[in-house]
Amino acid sequence: MTYCGGILVREGLVMFADTRTNAGVDNVSTFRKLHVFSDPNKRIMAIASSGNLSITQSVLSILTEGYTNPDTGEHETLMNAPTMFQAAQRVGHVIRNVHATEGKALEAADVTFDVSFLFGGQIMGERMRLFMIYPAGNFIECTTDTPYLQIGEHKYGKPVLDRAIIYDMDLYDALKVGLVSIDSTMRSNLSVGMPIDLLVVRRDICEAELVYRIEPGEPYFTDLRERWSAALRAAHIGIPRPPYGRV
């Protein structure tokens, strides 16, 4: 399993991803799922992936190496996409190509083609965008009404995002809420695990402000987890007991 999220607020973009992969509980490894593509001051793009690792890695390799567009004969990569929208289309296109190549053999082996991607970033002169791309290659874009997207094991960490993320919040507060969301997920699902990869990009800068890996035992994240647990306990203690039943 996996948990990745992207938060797009007025000040910029936060993306986070865990690194645990597992084929059964006795085969657990660490693989990077958050990948940053950058041409400083010109474009910054990042992809977070969820699902079968052989498929997601193939998609990433093809997007990096590039492929020839049969209609135009041009060599297309993420880094030479004219717009963020066309870059998202390229991600979808490559997913479909991998499906065409690998899908039948995987299906015969009872492996479902279950990949999802978050794709975010900005090309200078264009607005910052964040997309979620489905296994069929179609995609949706994050908007200000719900300024976040999730892939993988998204349920445990959703209540805190639903309540705390708003478009006008501070960029590092958004990161903080994202970390709380990861904490809730890791606590409830063993197949989501440390280390955690982070990316913060300030709007209109087109360069990463933060690329960071939180390793197990890292002091800030350990403190955040303890404070959040204590705050949750305090929060329900502060609510009066139900008046029902008792005389």
Q: Is 159 in the site for a copy of itself (CB under 8 A)?
A: yes
Q: Looking at 28-36, 77-85, 112-120, 206-214, which segment touches a copy of itself (CB under 8 A)?
A: 206-214
Q: Within 10 Å of residue 58's Cβ, how many Cβ atoms?
A: 18
Phi, psi of 31 (to 5 degrees): -135, 140
CB-nearer residue toward a copy of itself: 124 or 232? 232
CB-nearer residue toward a copy of itself: 108 or 237? 237
List 94, 151, 179, 192, residue binding a copy of itself (CB under 8 A): 179
- Residue 241 is classified by DSSP as P
* Least distance in angstroms from the C-beta of 12 to a copy of itself: 11
- In a 3-state reduction of DSSP, which class is residue 235? helix
Q: Is 158 exposed, middle or buried (0-12, 13-18, 19+ CB in 10 A)?
A: middle
Q: Is 112 in the site for a copy of itself (CB under 8 A)?
A: no
Q: Looking at 42-50, 99-107, 119-127, 216-224, which segment touches a copy of itself (CB under 8 A)?
A: 216-224
- Residue 25 is classified by DSSP as T
Q: Is 109 in the site for a copy of itself (CB under 8 A)?
A: no
- Provide the residue type at 72 as one letter: T
Kindly report the CA angle at 204 between 201 and 205, in degrees rounded to 5? Answer: 55
Distance CA 184, CA 8 (A): 20
Which parts of this chain interact with a copy of itself (CB under 8 A)? Answer: 155-156, 158-160, 162-164, 170, 172-173, 175-177, 179-180, 184, 187-188, 198, 200, 209-210, 212, 220, 223-224, 227-229, 231-236, 238-246
